[in-house]
Chain A
Amino acid sequence: MTLFGSLGDGYVRRALLEVVLLGVLCGAVGVQVVLRRLAFLTTALTHATFPGVVLASLLGIGLVLGAGLFGVLVVAVVAMLTGTRGAGRGRETSSVTAVVLAGGFALGLALMSTRDGFSRDLTAFLVGSVLTVSPSDIVATAVTTVCVLGLLAGLRKELLLGAFDPGALAAAGYPVRALDLVLLLMIEATVVTSLPAVGTIMAVALIVGPAATARLWCSGAGTMTAVAMVIGVLSGVVGLAVSEQWNVAAGGAIVLTVAAFFTVSLVARSLPRGESAMRPAAQEKSVGRPTYS
C-alpha cells in the first residue's frame, strides 16, 4: 500500500509526524556533530544509552524517560572522561569512546539476560519501530525538538566559534566546559528521542547522515543546517513511503534513504568541476585534527 493510501490509519499518521519531527531535530543537531567530528562519540552515546532502555523496560517505566535519565548519567561519565574534544593526558579520546560504546552495549545485553522470558523483542531496542510510536513518544519528540532548536538558535554564535576555533572560544573567556556539556546533552536528548523510532544502532545514521550530506553541498553553517533538516525530513518521509509500498522495515528503509542521499551526493561532488578541482590543494594542508574527537 502506498504511504498516501495508508494515511487513513492512525499509526501511519503518527509515524509520519514522528519522522518529520525527527528529521528536523536530527538534521539540526547533526550539523554540530559533523562540524566538530563527533560522529564516533555520538555512536558511543547511542550504544551507552541502550542499558537505560532495557532498565526502563525492566522497571516498567517509560522507555524515553528511562533512556533519558540514563543518558544524563552517560553524558556525565563521557564528559568527565573526555570532554567533547578530549582532554588528553594519556587518555586517547577515541579509545575511551570505543570502550564506552562496547561497555554500554554489553551492559544492556547483560541486563536483558537477567530476566527469563523477557517480553520485549531485542530488535525493537536495536532498530526501533516507527510504526508503533505512541502519542507520548511524539510529544517527547516535539518538546525535545522545540527545546533543542531554541538552544541551537540562541547559542549559534558561541557554538559556531567553538566548532571552528575552540582555542579562541577559551581565550575569549567563554565557559567552554559548560558549553561542551550543553552540546553533549543536546546530542544525548536527540539520541534518546530517536530511539523508539529508529533504535540504538540506527539513530546515529539519522543524526550524522543528513548533516554529512549537507556538508558536501554547503559553504556556510547556516545553509548547512537548513539543508540537513530538509534532507532529514525527506529521508524520513521517503523511507516511510518505501516501507509502506514494499512492506520493508521502516527503520531500515529510512536509514537506507539517508545513506542513498549521502552516497549520491558524495559521487556527485567528487566529479571534477570548478571549485572541486581546487580542493585537493586545500586538503593536502589539512591539519592533523582527529577524525573522531
Chain B
Amino acid sequence: MPPPVHDAAIVFTHASVAYDRFPAVEQVNGTVRPGEIVALVGPNGAGKSSLIKAVLGLVPVVAGSIVVLGRPPAQARRQVAYVPQADTLDPNFPISVAQVVLMGRYRRIGWLRPPGRADRAAAAAALAAVGLEHRARDRFGLLSGGQRQRVLLARAIASEPAVLVLDEPFNGVDVVSQEALLGAVRELTARGAAVIISTHDLTLAQSACDRVCLLNRRQFAFGPPADVLTPPLLRQAYGGAALELADHGLILAR
C-alpha cells in the first residue's frame, strides 16, 4: 500500500509549545509541504529544539495545534525520522557504523524479530547515500564528527521517512560532510519527504532551504529566504545580538 499523499506534511496553527512547564515558543504558523526543506532559524534559546521536539510528539503543544501527516505528532512518529546532533552521543559506545544505520529499520522490523536481508540492504543503500559505505564495519566513535552526523542521517534515511527532522546537523561539520548531508537530504526531498532543519547558519538557510521559519520565543516570519532573512526581521528576532554592517546588512553574534 503506498503511503497516503498529503498536501501538507506539517501544519502549525497558532502553535505554542511548552518545555518543562515553561512556554518555549509561541504563535507558530505555517505549513511544511512534501518535498520541501524548511529551516528553523533563531538565536540560542529561541525555542528551535522545543519546536522540533513538539513535531516529534515529545513535548506538548499547549495552545493551537501541530498536525503531522494529518495526525497528532505522537501518532505520526513511525513516518517521522529524527536526526540528533552527533556529539550528543557517546563516541565510546561499542557499536559499528552498520549497526547504527540498521537501527533506522527497527520500527519496521517490529518487536522480537531480527533484521532480515531486506533491512540490511536498505541500511547499506542509506549508508551509500551519505557516501560512507566504505566505513560500515568501523566503530561509530572512530569517525569524525561530520561523518558521524552523516551516519545518523543514513539511519534516518533507512527508515524511509515521510518527514525528516534534523537538529543542528551542521554544527562543527566540515565542508565535505556538509555537502554530503545536503546531497542526501535533497535526494529524500526529491522522493517527496518534507524536511525541517534547525540551524544557526543563515547562509546555509538562504542557499539550501526552500523556506525559513524565524523564531525567538515566538515566530517572527515564515516564508521564502529572501523575504525572511532581511536585516529588519533579523534585527527584530535577534535583538541586541544583531550587529549592523555598513553595506552588507548585519552579522549575528551567537
Contact = CB atoms under 8 A, between A and B. Distances in A.
Contacts of A160: 95, 99, 103
A167 B95 CA distance: 17
Interface in A88-103: 88-89
A286 interface: yes
Contacts, number: 86
B77 A172 contact: yes
Interface residues of A, number: 31
A66 B92 CA distance: 39
B106 interface: yes
A283 B141 CA distance: 9
Contacts of B80: 171
Nearest to B84: A167
Interface in A115-168: 154-155, 157-158, 160-161, 163-165, 167-168
A112 B112 CA distance: 44
A30 to B, nearest CB: 14
A220 B139 CA distance: 8
Contacts of B127: none
A193 B78 CA distance: 38
Interface in B118-175: 139, 141-142, 145, 155, 159
Contacts of A220: 94-96, 99
B20 A282 contact: no
Contacts of B139: 219
6 contacts: A165-B84, A171-B82, A172-B107, A173-B74, A286-B91, A286-B92
Which of A161, A171, A285 lies at the interface centre, i.e. has the most chain B CB atoms within 10 A of its CB?
Answer: A171
Nearest to A165: B89
A35 interface: yes
Contact of B88 (A167, A170, A215): A167
Nearest to B20: A89
A157 B106 contact: yes
B78 A173 contact: yes
B109 A168 contact: no
Contacts of A171: 56, 58, 77, 80, 82
